[in-house]
Amino acid sequence: TTIMAVQFDGGVVLGADSRTSTGSYVANRVSDKIVPIHDFIWTCRSGSAADTQAVADYVKYYVDAHSMELGRLPRVRTVANLMRKICYNNKDNLMAGLIVGGWDPYEGGQVYEIPLGGTIMRQKFALGGSGSSYIYGLVDSYYREGMTREECEIFVKKSISHAMARDGSSGGVIRITTIQSTGVQRQCILGSDVCMAMRWNHDYFYHGLNQRLKDG
């Protein structure tokens, strides 16, 4: 798995690959690792699929009740804290690495990472999953402060495609979710576009990307 989230001014971009493996077999090549917790708060899941699905379902249930009682949109911080509570207190029985990304009207776009053990870390961008090891260098050199939404999306696509190229446990399609105050947009980057990392044909790749960006 490779999962990633980047914060920009006014929202977040969440990205993930789509491979679920059972040993050497790819059980699901088009899985969806980005799950909605609330309207503007989504989570990327990595680790045991069962554990992360269970934790996400519980948090979704609690946040649903919480926001109904509150009568407003929940804070991303609250969702992340609930997730952390479950992961920390059940640390002996869970294998879950989660990234919570979302937008709320109080603090704007936020990214929180909850690795194994249940630490909570707020960051400008977060990486997770087995494939993340391969792209720490890329991400460190490519990231800069104050990127726009489009730049963040390119950043996420580029990084995840490089991770998918090298990590056996990551592959398939790249799923991107962009959350802003205006709404949530989901994208799915298929096959040929993911070949960024393979560099079959440098010019075609760049031309194709720019074209696709223009087309939106």
Of 133 and 148, which CB lies nearer to other proteins in the complex structure? 133
Helix (H, G, I), strand (E, B) or coil at 103: strand
| C-alpha pair distances (Å), 38 with each of 21, 79, 100 | 27, 9, 11
Q: Does 90 bind other proteins (CB under 8 A)?
A: yes
Question: Is residue 16 within 8 Å of residue 34, measured between CB atoms?
Answer: yes
Q: Does 204 bind other proteins (CB under 8 A)?
A: no
Pick the binder of other proteins from 28, 119, 181, 210 (CB under 8 A).
Answer: 119
Q: Does 69 bind other proteins (CB under 8 A)?
A: no
Closest approach of other proteins to the CB of residue 214, in Å: 36
Give yes or no: 148 in active site.
Answer: no
Q: At what angle do helices 149-166 and 202-215 cross, to 10 degrees?
A: 140
Size of the site for other proteins (CB under 8 A): 20
Pick the binder of other proteins from 69, 71, 92, 145 (CB under 8 A).
Answer: 92
Of 86 and 189, which CB lies nearer to other proteins in the complex structure? 86
Beta carbons within 8 Å of 174's beta carbon, 6+ residues apart: 15, 16, 17, 18, 156, 157, 160, 161, 164, 188, 189, 193, 194
Q: Which two tokens stand for residue 37?
A: 């917790």
Chain positions contacting other proteins, by CB under 8 A:
58, 84-86, 88-93, 115-121, 123, 133, 136
Residues marked active site are found at 1
